[in-house]
Amino acid sequence: MKNAVLQGYTDRITQADGAMGTEAAQVCRMNSYDPELLRRVPQDIIERDYGCGNPSKYAQPGDVVLDLGSGSGKICYILAQIVGASGQVIGVDMNRDMMTLSRAHQAAFSQQVGYDNLRFVWGSIDDLGSDLDAVEATVSGRQIGSIEEYSALQDHLQDLRKNQPMIADNSVDLVVSNCVINLVDTDSKGLVLQEIFRVLRPGGRIALSDNVSNVPVPESLKNDPELWVGCYSGVYQEQEFYRALRDVGFVGLNVEERAGVPEKTIGEVTFQSVTVTATKPREAGRSTAAERVLYKGPWTSVTDEAGTQLRRGEVTTLDADTADQLRHSAYAQHVHFLEDQPANTDSGCCG
């Protein structure tokens, strides 16, 4: 299936008829993007971009953003404009033809916007430590004549990954992907989520757009290469996707967008596009002072991933670390942080 995915996307950009298959053409459609940002993206990149959402709008000026499965590079070129000269955008993709296309316009784009904050790296999203350009430079033309030489090569590659990782630990503010995780082999999907968690800084965010299913995808569909390349056969079951993100350690998960109609239905299986955001927890021990918070509503009560319960309209005293997590997550807009509110020295209700 991995070979089918690589070949499918190569065909899409190298053949005039885009011979990826009808399934891919159905799901890989243009989404709603800011036309002003699109104006500076080369047209051949736009025409070869595939996805099911728009995670770029969750970036902020100054962010270091990593785009998983960057493909032709459209979202990266958009992100580069959002994060600005003080930010950085890194696109990673396994397909060398896609990488060639995305890199081809970097110089002209940098000259147009007035800064250079964009780079594309060749790698696999289930191993963000291994820079495949560096790996290929190491092994190309190398002759292995003994088990000792083989072991030495393996040790050298491990040293490269550890000491010169493609993406370092705790180095990224935001990780985005657009209809990519479903293309990864089933056994490697967990590694993708672990790698995302590893490279994010404490307090870092994710914005992942992907297809999900209402029930587990049966083996008969998983064995269909065209459905897999088309972003269907390899999807997470929807609730399992959310559980997998929680189990890796993300908090404050929010389903930001969910398509009003299924992308596709096959028998009892329906495929739905969603965009989710979440946060990597911040480091504990940042402060010792307790904080009082008040949950605004609208629900009667809410409980976070750590089991902390807040009741609407009630003042709750939290330890500093828990309050800090709330302050920098999706919960923040629903909570009054009472220590932050200025004291009112005026007398009377109309002071």
Q: Which of 259, 237, 213, 231 is nearest to 31 (CA)?
A: 259
Phi/psi at 200 (nearest 5 deg)?
-75, 140
Residue 44 sits in the same domain as residue 120: yes
Same domain, 313 and 270: no
pLDDT of residue 324: 85
Q: What is the pLDDT of residues 270-322, one digit of tens each?
A: 999 999 999 999 887 666 688 999 999 999 999 988 889 999 999 999 998 88
Residue 13 lies in a domain: yes
Which pLDDT score, from 0 to 100, does residue 24 have? 46
129 secondary structure, DSSP code: T
**Same domain (yes/no): 25, 45:** yes
pLDDT of residue 343: 63
Question: Quick check: is 47 in a domain?
Answer: yes
- Encoded tokens for 323: 């309050």
What is the structure's pLDDT at 73?
94
The domain spanning residue 62 has which CATH number?
A: 3.40.50.150
Cis peptide before 225 (omega within 30 of 0): no
Same domain, 118 and 145: no
Give a yes or no: residue 345 inside a domain.
Answer: no
In a domain, 76, yes or no: yes
* Tally of structural domains, the chain: 3
- The domain boundary, picked from 116, 142, 164, lies at 164
Residue spans of the chain under pLDDT 50: 18-31
Give me the sign of the Cα torsion angle 34, 44, 180, 325. Answer: negative
Model pTM score:
0.87
Distance between CA atoms of 226 and 27, rounded to whole angstroms? 12
Whole-angstrom distance, CA of residue 198 vs CA of residue 171: 9
pLDDT at 29: 45
How much is the pLDDT for 345?
A: 55
Distance CA 226, CA 21 (A): 6
Tell me the residue range of the domain where 330 lies: 291-340
Do 84 and 101 touch, CB atoms closer than 8 A? no
Task: Check whether residue 139 and residue 120 sit in a common domain.
Answer: no
Q: Angle at CA 207, nearest 5°, toward 246 and 109?
A: 150
How far apart are alpha carbons 276 and 176 in whole angstroms?
Answer: 10
Q: Are residues 48 and 174 in the same domain?
A: yes
Clarify whether residues 123 and 139 are in a common domain.
no
Give residue 287's pLDDT.
62
Same domain, 182 and 70: yes
Report pLDDT for 262.
86
Q: Of 259, 279, 299, which residue constitutes the final position of a domain?
A: 279
At 336, give phi and psi (nearest 5°). -90, 125
Query: Are residues 198 and 142 both part of a single domain?
Result: no
Plot region of 321 (φ>0 → left; ψ -120 to 50 → alpha; else → beta):
alpha
Q: Is 9 within the bounds of a domain? A: yes
Last residue of a domain, one of 229, 249, 279: 279
144 and 187 both lie in a single domain: no
- Alpha carbon distance 174, 56 (integer Å): 10
Q: Is 346 a domain residue? A: no
Indicate if 123 and 219 belong to the same structural domain.
yes
* Residue 348 within a domain: no
160 and 187 assigned to the same domain = no
The DSSP 8-state label assigned to residue 328 in this structure reads T
